[in-house]
Amino acid sequence: MLWAILTVAVLIVLLQVRRSRRTVAALERRLEVASRGLESLQQAFSHFAPAEVVEEIIAHGVSTRSEKKEITVLFADLKGFTALGERLEPEVLVRVLNGYFERMSRAITAHRGHVSKFLGDGILALFGALEANPWQTNDAAHAALAMRTALADYNAALRSEGLPPLAVGVGIHRGSVVAGVIGSAELVEYGVIGRAVNLAARVQTLTRAFAVDVLVTEAVRDVLDQRFRLAPMPATEVKGVPGPLATFAVEAFDPTSDAPARPAGGRQSG
Amino acid sequence: MTSMAAPAALPDAEWSECLLPAGPVPREMAREVRRAVGALPGWVPRLAPSPWIVRAFRDTIQRPAAYLPRTFFDLGAVVVSQDNSCRYCYGAQRAVMKVLGYRDEYLDRLVRDFHVVDLPPGERAGLDYLRRLSRADPRPGRAESEAVVQAGLDRRAVTEIAAVAAFCTFNNRVATLLALPPDPIESLVRGPLFRFIRPLMARRMRPRARPPEPPPQPNDGPLAALVTALGDSPAASVVRRMIEGAWNSPVLPRRTRALLLAVVARALGCAYSEGEARRLLAAEGLEGSHVDEILTHLGSAQLDRREARLVPFARETVRYQPAAIQRRVRETCDAMSREETLETIGTVALANALCRMSVVLDAPRAAG
């Protein structure tokens, strides 16, 4: 009798152990899936904010970190897109715009830039914002030339479909910004604030007046590799900037040029 | 870049074909490696054309540390290799850990989040510091190293963590940039005989206590202050040998090597290493103004054709995604010999390692 009770008790314990093991295994599998999801999220986040900010958000659910840093801002906008939008069917318009964003983003990230925002048909890209980058300004100028090439290819594809080609204007400026996680409880994003951002946007608008596609400010010119061929544009009054603003059109990059480096200094603060 | 968090399933990560075929291994080299690590690992036939890189691998996997907890080297190597998405080092190191008796569940927890595994607070803080050093985004400062001391690790052990970060940085970069194929030890630990041979293998591979050593003499070559800062740790001699090996190898000119160091130092904001590189370049006859131009724009008419390719490439080895950097290595080293390719990769890997390790110069000196 005692043996029978003991055997039943042992069997019950064994069953419980088996059940517990199954539960633990199932929990571990769920934990593994959740963990992979978190890792993917963490990786995705690292494209939107500096590593330290992502870590802080993961650890504390919020980031209060903000810092002043010198970055290079690239602002791109399609010329005449509003009028074009009125002529195209909505689905065609969205497809054309998405194809454009896709190609431009690729050109920007290939040169270590980060697309901060799409604003209508505009693109705000930052260089040196997510990680320290001593070559941020050259990278931005290279990205602008890569955007020019990518757009030429895209236009060839659009023409073959009977669609009108696109034209882009790009403004680049280097200056100080305040960077941090900005927003409300409903919507937050890692962003930058400062005159440098507005100035890049203003410079972009000048591309229409000068009929060029890439314009940079003096602050960019001063630190840019001399192998970029620049053409000075007439100094122009722009909103929010005291005095006329000097800008330079970026014509090309000549890697074989043996021009000496421009002396550093004379930077215009943003 | 080195990603924020490497994918959990690292063995499935995109990894290209190995850049260099396996080649013959000189008998003396094979004997030395066997004597040191008990076997001839898969990397030896690939790295054999650069004896200093083989020596560096051999020395670093022997865990040259006297003050760190005995298991730290292995735990750190698996955490950093995973963080750096180094398929080769992660797979090989995980296999070594299994030989040493670690269970898969523990290793999974470790790489998922080492904060939740059962470790003394000092070691946990040490792993966090190690990963920060490896990421260098940004390079940690004195406050971070002091936090590890506060958590319970000896100051000399914290200095050795910087050396571990350098060794992992070096090994991960060499393995990733070359796209070394999985090491045979990975299939061995999956094999049916593993449980029987494991105790024998473990006896051979178990970390052993290393006593402090007299600092290397002479120590008057490049980056001597870095070696001095390691004090009487066995890591000091290893670092000295790595630097001397690279600096005295005739395959690439010294000027080219110093330029690669300067670029990596500039990218990581390491003033000490950039200063050393500038001193070495001045000794090679390159004027300061030309160095300024090269470091400002990653190009100059002063560079020869090979340097003009390698200088911008060096910058890309600081932070990367494995598949992208492997494609870039193929483009950059396309017209180079096997020896030149290996030496280029070894040099940028060493530059990355030393610039990360240079935080030891910021820290208060350990009491001997």
ipTM of this predicted structure: 0.82
The answer to the question of residue B113 being in a domain is yes
Assess whether B89 and B59 both reside in one domain: yes
Which chain B residue has its CA at the smallest distance from A258's CA? B301
Could you please state the CATH topology (level 3) that the domain comprising A65-253 is classified under: Alpha-Beta Plaits (3.30.70)
Residue count of chain A: 270
In a shared domain, residues B174 and B273 = no
Residues B198 and B238 in one domain: no
What is the C-alpha separation between A83 and A89, in angstroms, rounded?
12
- Type of residue found at B351: A
| pLDDT score recorded for residue A103 | 97
Residues of A with CB under 8 A from a CB of B: 28, 32, 35-36, 38-39, 42-43, 45-46, 50-52, 54-55, 131-132, 134-135, 138, 223, 225-227, 255, 258, 260-261, 264
pLDDT at A259: 60
More confident residue, A38 or B357: B357
Long-range contacts of A184-193, Cβ-Cβ distance < 8 Å, separation of 24 or more:
A189/A48, A190/A48, A190/A49, A190/A50, A190/A53, A191/A116, A191/A117, A192/A71, A192/A73, A192/A116, A192/A126, A192/A129
Please determine, for residue B243, whether its predicted confidence score (pLDDT) is greater than 80: yes
- Give the SS3 label for residue A31: helix
Smallest CA–CA distance, residue B7 to chain A, in Å, is 7
Mark which of B211, B239, B270 sits at the end of a domain.
Answer: B211
On whether residue B191 sits in a domain, the answer given is: yes
Q: Are B203 and B238 in the same domain?
A: no
Where are the alpha helices (H) located in chain A, listed in sequence order?
2-45, 51-60, 81-87, 90-109, 136-160, 195-210, 218-223
Mean pLDDT of chain B: 92
Compare A162 and B10 and report the one with higher pLDDT. A162
**Residue A267 pLDDT:** 38
Contacts of B269 in chain A (CB under 8 A): 132, 134
Same domain membership, residue B190 and residue B318: no
Question: What pLDDT is attached to residue A182?
Answer: 80
Is the distance from CB of A215 to CB of A223 less than 8 angstroms?
Answer: no
Contact A138 B292 (CB under 8 A): no
Tell me which chain B residue has its CA closest to the CA of residue A50: B137
Tell me which residue range forms the domain holding B121.
10-22+39-211
Mean pLDDT value of segment B254-267: 98
Q: How far is B289 from chain A (nearest CA, A)?
A: 9
Interface-testing mutation among B4, B82, B303, with chain A (most A C-beta atoms within 10 A): B4
Strands A214-217, A168-183: pairing kind: parallel
Question: Residue B219, SS3?
Answer: coil
Structure tokens given for A162:
């009977």
pLDDT above 90 covers a percentage of chain A that reads 53
pLDDT digits (tens, 9 = 90+) for B189-222: 999 999 999 999 998 888 888 999 999 999 999 9
- Residue A106 corresponds to which tokens in the numbers above? 């690729």
Q: Provide φ and ψ at A127, rounded to 5°.
A: -125, 125
CATH number at residue B262: 1.20.1290.10
pLDDT band for position A59 (cuts 50, 70, 90): low
Please provide the average confidence, as pLDDT, over all residues in chain A. 86
Q: Answer whether B4 sits within 8 Å of A132, measured CB to CB.
A: no
Quote the minimal CA–CA distance from A11 to chain B in Å: 28
For residue A263, give the chain B residue with the closest CA.
B293
Check B112 against A131: CB less than 8 A apart.
Answer: no
Residue A133 contacts residue A139 (beta carbons within 8 Å): yes
Interface touch B3/A260, C-beta < 8 Å: no
Q: Does B153 lie in the same domain as B90?
A: yes
Number of domains in chain B: 2
Q: Are residues B191 and B275 in the same domain?
A: no
Q: Is B289 a member of any domain?
A: yes
Q: How far is A135 from chain B, CA to nearest CA, in Å?
A: 7
pLDDT at B3 over 80: no
Q: Tokens representing B69?
A: 């907890």
**What is the SS3 assignment for A183?**
strand
**B232 & B261 share domain:** yes
Kindly list the residues from chain A whose CB atom is less than 8 angstroms away from the CB atom of residue B319.
Answer: 131
- Is residue B217 one of the residues assigned to a domain? no
Using the predicted structure, report yes or no on whether residue A1 has a pLDDT greater than 80.
Answer: no
Q: Is residue B57 part of a domain?
A: yes
Cβ within 8 Å, pair A50-B137? yes
Residues B31, B32, B37, B43, Cα dihedral to 10°: -80
Could you tell me whether strands A247-253 and A214-217 are parallel, antiparallel, or unpaired per DSSP bridges? Answer: antiparallel
Q: Please give, rounded to a whole number of angstroms, the shortest distance from the CA of B110 to a CA of chain A.
A: 12
* B260 in the same domain as B174: no
pLDDT of residue A270: 40
Q: Does B262 reside within a domain?
A: yes
Read off the pLDDT of each residue in A152-175 and give the average, rounded to a whole number.
Answer: 96
Distance from CA of B267 to the nearest CA of A (A): 6
Q: Using an 8 Å CB-CB cutoff, list residues of chain B that contact chain A.
A: 1, 3-9, 105, 108, 112-113, 135, 137-138, 266-267, 269, 292-293, 295-301, 315, 319
Instruction: Please check whether residues B203 and B234 belong to one and the same domain.
Output: no
Residue B5 in domain = no
What's chain B's length in residues? 368
Lowest mean pLDDT among A82-86, A246-250, B19-23: A82-86
Same domain, B178 and B298: no
pLDDT in tens, A98-128: 999 999 999 999 999 999 989 989 999 999 9
Are A32 and B8 an interchain contact pair (Cβ–Cβ within 8 Å)? Answer: yes
Please enumerate in sequence order all residues whose Cβ is within 8 A of that of B335, keeping only pairs 6 or more positions apart, or say none. Answer: none
Which residues in chain A touch residue B138, judged by CB atoms under 8 angstroms apart?
52, 132
Contact B137 A52 (CB under 8 A): yes
**Pick from B211, B237, B252: which residue ends a domain?**
B211
Select from A45, A132, A261 the Cβ nearest to the Cβ of B269.
A132
Q: How far is B293 from chain A (nearest CA, A)?
A: 6
pTM: 0.86
Kindly determine whether residue B4 and residue A42, on different chains, have CB atoms separated by under 8 Å: yes
Residue A73 makes CB contacts below 8 A (sequence gap 6+) with A124, A125, A126, A127, A140, A172, A173, A174, A175, A177, A192, A196, A197, A199, A200, A270
Closest-CA residue of A relative to B3 is A43
Does a structural domain hold residue B219?
no
What are the Cα distances from residue A37, in Å, to A32, A46, A48, A224, B7?
9, 14, 17, 41, 10
- Interface probe for A, chosen from B295, B296, B307 (most Cβ of A below 10 Å), is B296
Return phi, psi of residue B124, to 5°: -65, -45
